[in-house]
Amino acid sequence: METVQQSKPKDYKSDVPPIWCAGCGDYGVLASLTAALSQNNVAPVDTVLVSGIGCSSRLPFFVTTFGMHTCHGRALPVATGIKLARPELRVIVVGGDGDHFSIGGGHLPHVARKNIDLTLIVMDNSIYGLTKGQVAPTSRPGMVTTTTPYGSADMPVNPIAYALVYGASFVAQSFSSNVKLTTDLIVKAIRHKGFSFINVISPCPTFNKVDTFEYYKPLLKSIDEIHPDKSDKVKALSLAMTMGRESGEVPVGLFFQEERPTYVEMVKEIKIKNKGADNPDLERIIDILRP
């Protein structure tokens, strides 16, 4: 794969200026992503950013990599198709909590359990911002929005617990204004062989007046000291279930990482084991699977 020498974060920024609201947390994610691409020193031509629909899903327009702006909730299956067709490419998916925990929530478990070798960065603002303030999958109980004028009756999803139980082989959480931590996690996620998931809490200053930067900052707690063994999934799940807005401590850092074969590697193994098998139908199926 081609490498870029002495590339800087600004080299990964396109000529299209971001059009997010002033103070949006997504600016921090963009800065972290371009810094991570620089640290990994990859050529934009070898990288594809895939997004769905929403404020955060505009991000591919603002970088110099290849990009695909897909349908709402369908970024993961499109990214999977890209990775299976061109395994040598780095594939990164970006989007919001609505894209990946609501309309696209059915795709997350399958990408995770298959260990597709791509990175998913969720910009979690607990609101539907692009459509001007509806309740979202991670909105807190009782939250008043345009669709819940008397307060939401829904329990929010737990993104970290979801990813862990679904079988993601890399699970992390960060806060958008902590560019150093977010960059470090994205660097590790891109280098990880398998499905990597990062939930980035990214406050919306326009439509979510509850879950603000000021609200979150005193609650953020690094889990590195209390959770040094990143291979301990039980401990990671326990932290995900017991820490959060309700407990007064919001965990950030790497929760879990394990090495296991990716989907492409498992397909290769199937092809090797069944090469020459006296089964024409099986041979045709195997030939379809790439590489």
Q: Which structural domains are found in the chain, ordered by start?
A: 19-260 (3.40.50.970), 262-291 (no CATH)
Please give the pLDDT value at position 271.
76
- What is the DSSP-derived secondary structure letter of residue 104? T
pLDDT tens, position by position, 214-261 = 999 999 999 999 999 999 999 999 999 999 998 999 999 999 999 999
Q: Is the pLDDT of residue 2 over 70?
A: no
Q: Is the pLDDT of residue 287 over 80?
A: no
Please give the pLDDT value at position 291.
52
Please give the pLDDT value at position 268.
83
Could you give the 3-state DSSP secondary structure of residue 86? coil
Q: Is the pLDDT of residue 145 over 80?
A: yes
Residue 252 structure tokens: 């950030």
Give percent above pLDDT 90 in the chain: 88
Helix (H) / strand (E) element for 240: namely helix 233-242
Mean of all residue pLDDT scores within the chain: 93
Please check whether residue 266 is in contact with residue 113, taking contact to mean a CB–CB distance below 8 angstroms: no
Q: Which amino acid is at 243?
A: M
Average pLDDT over residues 121-132: 96
Q: Which amino acid is at 3?
A: T
Please check whether residue 15 is in contact with residue 167, taking contact to mean a CB–CB distance below 8 angstroms: no
pLDDT tens, position by position, 18-33 = 999 999 999 999 999 9
Reported for 139-143, long-range contacts at CB under 8 A and 24+ positions apart, including other chains, are 140/210, 140/211, 140/245, 143/210
Residue 239 structure tokens: 């932290």
Average pLDDT over residues 89-96: 97
Please give the pLDDT value at position 286.
57
Please give the pLDDT value at position 4.
45
Q: Which residue reads 């200053």 in tokens? A: 205
